Structure 1
Amino acid sequence: MRIKEWQKIALVVVLTLFVGVLFYTTLFRVTTEVSLDVKPGSFLQLNLSGEIPERVVENPIAEVIGGLPNISIQDIVLNIHKAKRDKNISGILLHLGPLGIGWGKLDEIRNALQSFHAAGKKIYTYLEMAGDAEYYLASVSDTITTIPTAIFMVNGLVSEPLFMKGTLQKLGIEADFVAHGKYKNAPDIFTRESMSDAQREVLNAILDEYYQRLVDTLSVSRGLSRTETQSILDKGLLNGREALAMGLVDTLMYFNELKTHLTGKDDSKRRILGFKQYRKVQPEGTDISTSDALAIVYGVGSIVIGGEKPYEYDNLITSEGMANSIRKAAENKRVKAIILRIDSPGGSGVASDVIWKEVVKAREKKPIIVSISDLAASGGYYISMAADTIVAHPGSIVGSIGVFAGKFAMGKFYNKIGMNTEKLQRGRNADFFLTSQPFTPEQRKILRHHIMTFYEDFLQKVAQGRHMSVEEVDKIAQGRIWSGKQGYQNGLVDVLGDFNTAVRIAKEMANLPVDKPVPLLIYPRIKSFWERLLLEGFQNFATQPVFPLSSLPEPLQNMVKAIPYFQTGEPLFLPPFIVDIN
């Protein structure tokens, strides 16, 4: 269909107006970013809800259409520490909504808030709806406020794995997978109708540890005995008044009332600063007098074979992208140590091995420290294990040293929908990965040998990197996931701590002054919005969804994004199940 002349003109006008608005918005934002005068006695307001990514990509389109600009975990931690040193900031006002982050990121933020509190500054938290994660974070506060109708589901932890074998059978789809390791049951979601004994054992161990830490933390923070805390958790559901009576909160107060309480009726001397305002403030005592630097190489998302572009923008770890970033950091003479910031469930075995090799080569030139966020499982651990030092939170997930491969046999499904295939073949196993049929006994034997080769190689490299025997590694491998604390106890983790812990260790290993700031060089550098617009063209950029897959849990988002990149027959290093403990 041909576009009429008036339609062309209208399209040009609309695009011109749109680009003009973007340009004006960006220009206004840049020209108004002047130094902010923070008045003595000010409060930093920190609104946290939803997912909090490791990195964010600038997207003025989202801001223009009303989407809130994302903030990263490092943005939050950096500004909390900045506020801690700022003599004009007397406290933090924490406004918490439902959070979609793991226990590693929760600890990262909570540790920063504890450090702020230890400096003699106050934390006030406002809650309208709180589950275990939100209240765990809020418990660091001096004062917790809520409203009478608030909903408190601070009721303990639960994990509910999903099993789809029966569903697939009804559709005529057979999940045909081969895995090695007692606990490497990643395909169980498709091949079983209920939980295996091995999966039950692992989940119970994780739940026991997380629950004990939750009870202990809340008991200390709120001045309760463990018995009292467990009794409150067992209530299941509380409103604001009941939470007050139980000692979970300190007072009933609406948010604007709390702000007035903190600032007084006259706000001319004491201010509440939004996060967007305060991030423009130049931190005190951060003048950098050295050219020596630390490199931060991000490994966030599922691991796939691929080039640079998906690594920069799509929350995927590509073999070429991350390997190149590690190589650039190793070759940069300014960089004295490299920190790998890992938040990954794993993925391609081949891609993981390419990245691992680059870590080994870089370690010959300078120290390598791994900082684990929520997750470094299977392939995520594979790319970490060659580092000099591995740092993890007690609540991080690590390990899952195992491998699986397979396919979905769709033949019966094709019959159900009236679709037919015919096969012409040369070579006895040319039909190895045809989706119309399951594996033959010979093919299953070949596939098992193939994944055993990968598993044995995995064990050897863990043993090499962790200075253990292969037999010792095999005992804690078998595809089993561990908490960061458990990983520390069995030798998979060296130090329990957060990103700042990793920075301190990197400085020490690089012989840099621990108490002085150094530049952090970030890899890969994310191009600005205008760079991407000019390099890729408006059409390519505009067709990317502003909030892709946002309705799915973050670990599942990462796996779904990776599916198009996985190769037929490729061994996968993925955790045995998506760990979702609420």
Structure 2
Amino acid sequence: MSLDADAIVDRRRLRRKLTFWRVGAVLIALIAIVGVALLALPATRIGANPNYVARIKIQGLIRNNQERVEALTRLSRSNARAVIVHIDSPGGTTAGSEQLYDALRDLQARKPMVVVVDGLAASGAYIAALSAEHIIAQDTSLVGSIGVLFQYPNFTDVMKTIGIKMEEVKSSPLKAAPNGFEPTSPEARAAIAAIVSDSYDWFKGLVKDRRKMDDAQLASVSDGRVFTGRQAVGLKLVDALGNEKAARAWLAQAKNIPVSTPVRDYALTPRFSDFSFLHLAAWSLDNVGLNAVARAIEQWGGSEAVERLNLDGLLALWHPPTSN
């Protein structure tokens, strides 16, 4: 009986230790999450010096992003004296680029704003750049690609080869056209061309209005090509050559904001997925038996880490050809 009593005491002691480490792991995870959440907040929310210039970055593919719009709205209401927008993007969907342009225009209405093209501002990214009062590009940056694209695959030859035919019943000939499983009819091609042409006219009108171009100047830059920063200055696509230093000099000269004013990064999207602590926290919780919580944290931390390429609708996107 004494051995049984000792065993029961040992089990209780081990259970208390296990409970202690489980609670400790949960507390560590929560503290880490709260700490990084505070770090991810804009500088104005954690008592930073209100006399600053905000730096934001537009990178990668541009799609509709309501979180980014809301972040830009918060920035417009902040104490930032001005905004420097760094762009390095090939564009994206036309609708996403328009959404970003509108949000940046609302921001520009409240804050002096200047764009710096770091490497690439093509198609939809150039639409975003048009929102600013002043556009600066490096000598070898690529700018432009003014145009709209509608792409879809056509599998008809492959389906003939393997002996598959797609059957369908639809309400009208242009419903779900083109569908990629049959040759594109002249009527469907004309309908798509009308959509592309209308969006292209909208894009060109935006360039003409924002860059103060006449018809001849617009025609010379709107054939879909990209231009280097050096070429873009002469073509009125950008205002000057340089980098952030040039942007700060323009803010000093045009907006009376001294170059000594500190510049602070302002995140437009949550950065939680960039912190490996989430994976460490998940590992800790998994090892103390809280598997469901661990899986939830892993899924939350990684859900936005990988950029998806499922771009639907009209594209304002540039990429260099990969083959002849």
Alpha-carbon spacing, 1:348–1:296, altered in 2? closer, same or farther (3 Å): same
- The TM-score, its normalising length taken from structure 2, stands at 0.73
Tell me the equivalent position of 1:571: 314
In 2, Cα distance between equivalents of 1:524 and 1:431? 34
In 1, Cα distance between equivalents of 2:246 and 2:227? 21
In 1, Cα distance between equivalents of 2:50 and 2:59? 28
Tell me the equivalent position of 2:290: none
- Deviation track 1:124-153 (CA, whole Å, cap 9, x = no partner) reads xxxxxxxxxxxxxxxxxxxxxxxxxxxxxx
Q: Answer whether contact 2:90 2:319 (CA < 8 A) is retained.
A: no
Candidates 75, 99, 102, aligned match of 1:357: 102
Alpha-carbon spacing, 1:543–1:292, altered in 2? closer, same or farther (3 Å): closer
Q: Answer whether contact 2:56 2:265 (CA < 8 A) is retained.
A: no
Tell me the equivalent position of 1:293: 52
Question: How far is 1:289 from its partner?
Answer: 9.7
The one-letter code of the counterpart of 1:385 is L
In 2, Cα distance between equivalents of 1:336 and 1:323? 19
Alpha-carbon spacing, 1:347–1:437, altered in 2? closer, same or farther (3 Å): same
Aligned residue runs from structure 1 range 510-521, under 5 A? 510-521=255-266
Alpha-carbon spacing, 1:336–1:515, altered in 2? closer, same or farther (3 Å): closer
In 1, Cα distance between equivalents of 2:278 and 2:114? 31
In 2, Cα distance between equivalents of 1:538 and 1:562? 20
The one-letter code of the counterpart of 2:51 is D
In 1, Cα distance between equivalents of 2:220 and 2:276? 48
- Are 2:47 and 1:304 aligned? no
Candidates 481, 491, 503, aligned match of 2:236: 491
- Are 2:170 and 1:411 aligned? no
Candidates 148, 160, 166, aligned match of 1:421: 166
Q: Answer whether contact 1:386 1:466 (CA < 8 A) is retained.
A: no
- Deviation track 1:287-337 (CA, whole Å, cap 9, x = no partner) reads x995222222221001123xxxxxxxxxxxxx42333332221121x1111
- Deviation track 1:388-443 (CA, whole Å, cap 9, x = no partner) reads 11111111110000111131111222333344421111112113131201321111
The one-letter code of the counterpart of 1:388 is E
Alpha-carbon spacing, 1:289–1:509, altered in 2? closer, same or farther (3 Å): farther
Tell me the equivalent position of 1:179: none
The one-letter code of the counterpart of 1:329 is L
Question: How far is 1:578 from its partner?
Answer: 5.0
Tell me the equivalent position of 1:329: 75
In 2, Cα distance between equivalents of 1:544 and 1:520? 23
Aligned residue runs from structure 1 range 34-433, under 5 A? 290-305=49-64, 319-332=65-78, 334-433=79-178
Question: How far is 1:496 from its partner?
Answer: 0.8
In 2, Cα distance between equivalents of 1:303 and 1:439? 28
- The TM-score, its normalising length taken from structure 1, stands at 0.42
Percentage identity across aligned positions? 22
Q: Answer whether contact 2:251 2:258 (CA < 8 A) is retained.
A: no
Question: How far is 1:525 from its partner?
Answer: 5.1
- The structure with higher relative contact order (CA 8 Å, sep 6+) is 2
In 2, Cα distance between equivalents of 1:323 and 1:470? 33
Candidates 297, 304, 309, aligned match of 1:538: 297
In 1, Cα distance between equivalents of 2:98 and 2:127? 7
Tell me the equivalent position of 2:201: 456
Per the alignment, in what secondary structure is the counterpart of residue 405 of structure 1? coil
Q: Answer whether contact 2:196 2:314 (CA < 8 A) is retained.
A: yes
In 2, Cα distance between equivalents of 1:359 and 1:339? 11
Higher strand share: 1
Alpha-carbon spacing, 1:361–1:516, altered in 2? closer, same or farther (3 Å): closer
Alpha-carbon spacing, 1:537–1:504, altered in 2? closer, same or farther (3 Å): farther
The one-letter code of the counterpart of 1:502 is A
The one-letter code of the counterpart of 1:490 is L
The one-letter code of the counterpart of 1:472 is Q
Alpha-carbon spacing, 1:429–1:376, altered in 2? closer, same or farther (3 Å): same
Q: Answer whether contact 2:51 2:261 (CA < 8 A) is retained.
A: no
In 2, Cα distance between equivalents of 1:419 and 1:366? 58
Tell me the equivalent position of 2:44: none
The one-letter code of the counterpart of 1:432 is A
In 2, Cα distance between equivalents of 1:416 and 1:579? 27
- Deviation track 1:460-487 (CA, whole Å, cap 9, x = no partner) reads 1111111222442122111011011111
Tell me the equivalent position of 2:4: none
In 2, Cα distance between equivalents of 1:343 and 1:327? 21
Between Structure 1 and Structure 2, how many residues are aligned?
274
Question: How far is 1:364 from its partner?
Answer: 1.7
Higher helix share: 2
Alpha-carbon spacing, 1:382–1:519, altered in 2? closer, same or farther (3 Å): closer
Question: How far is 1:572 from its partner?
Answer: 1.0
Per the alignment, in what secondary structure is the counterpart of residue 173 of structure 2? coil
* Runs (5+) with no aligned partner, structure 2: 1-17, 41-46, 283-292
Alpha-carbon spacing, 1:453–1:505, altered in 2? closer, same or farther (3 Å): same
* Runs (5+) with no aligned partner, structure 1: 1-12, 31-57, 59-287, 306-318, 549-560
The one-letter code of the counterpart of 2:124 is G
